[in-house]
Structure 1
């Protein structure tokens, strides 16, 4: 059995304002992993352009959003020296391996991807081929570093399962060549998901049945990572709830989407369980709970917003972080891609 050194890979798309869901579901958790894992964190700008230009904002919008995600990584406490932080398009091996995986993955696998159906909507014939093949690029992002673990939300689990299928098929299809080249029984690991703690899926503040989204037309539906203390508090005070007090047990949140969402947000921000939140606030009215949640959110998020504003005021510094990170990422990815070329039979420069 081939063994692989533990390594974490994850990325965030630069497509508009980052919000609380991005922080609780991804960026805020990345910092915690850096003390226990070898981590690579990417701004996935190649993924951004799979959608309409209006989504990613054109050249200036993409540059601004890429720097904003990088600033959020740094403001959340991710150390760019201890970890690797870079933008995907600077490391060509992502695109090279994605093409190989386009030839490994099967159409039937991609046709089952629910995110493509959601993002393409009713006009699937007008969606880009990049959006359809997005999961193959995601697999390449992970496997070009032979990452063993990926922190993902529930909505990305299907893509990670596809990455495992692609890795397994490559290992199986080229088993003789992999062994013959001295790589052992498998060239790629089968990456495992890391789904951590509470509020892996944060819902809209205006509709608990919908995921918090940067594309929602109402700014009151989300807390942006750049919101100041007053905006954070106001949005929580105006968040939709029902007239009933908080239940005395967690199971009492069933069927109460907005209440469950706010309890989950409090739990995630405080680093405690939903049960602990209910133990403290069970039976309380929202007129009591919302101010407590607002105070906690301001305490946790306002410093991040301030640091992001400070960092984005110096784009040259952010760009240098990305360049330095890309150099280090390339040093890992290029030998992996060279191995793929040798296994497949491509003639390459020596």
Structure 2
């Protein structure tokens, strides 16, 4: 296997339309790196540039310390698994797995050995004589992965490979891919718009938006310490609650104000510039960091009205409103209130995030 190094990589289409803007990152040897972001953010374009299916406008891509900007896709020692599987419908599974190896003129015995190894690894031995039309979506996906495995590439590239599967099969395939990565000790670059896939699969996540990298890091680090409002809002289901207000800074305290509600923030006043006093900020709170309390036990609470309740089995999502502000609360107590009930909310302000109007996060103390 090999590492993948991108230095100041950009892609601009005709008409000066930027798709990828100045991306620099390194995928370590045997790392599972996930590129995640909304549709049109540039993640698939970046993957296709690594594969050689898109030309690089600016910057350098190296695979195993070898610059590959001008190397044809077939000579980059990468294997790509697509969303639509791209299997040959007139060929059996065995023939699909063997096709690329035959083009490389490998000996028949070596081809047969690689096919058997991949089939055993993926649990598709009994499918080798079937054609794609006789397979389920999950089985087709395994065959597509198997076609990449038999090549024994330096780098595996996955472009939203689970998008065509139902929810249950996606969950199963995520576990299989994670297990496959451990057994192959492979270098994998994986593209998805599904944050659940990103959080459960990646050793590290690269969050992209509008062609730019927003943040890189381990899943929980990005979830707990987002670099900006976009990352905070993109990762997490349901999304983080955002509350518009202003910051009040004195020599003794820092607090968040919105209308008649004041919430004292557990922050060192010296870490907040006095210049931020009375400046607009956004308070971010994840649904699990809000709770309903029986009474107003201190000033760090506020009233709200229950708008809706969505029971999900092990937990419920409670939709609330205070003034014009809406919140989602994740409840696992099963002591849910009734619709239109007046309740008191207590935020866990040690988990709060503060953002400027530009979306950047304000520094906080642990």
State the TM bucket, normalised to the shorter chain: under 0.3
Normalised to the residue count of structure 2, the TM-score between the two structures is 0.25
**Structure (1 or 2) with the greater strand fraction:** 2
Normalised to the residue count of structure 1, the TM-score between the two structures is 0.26
**Structure (1 or 2) with the greater helix fraction:** 1
Higher relative contact order (CA 8 A, sep 6+): 1
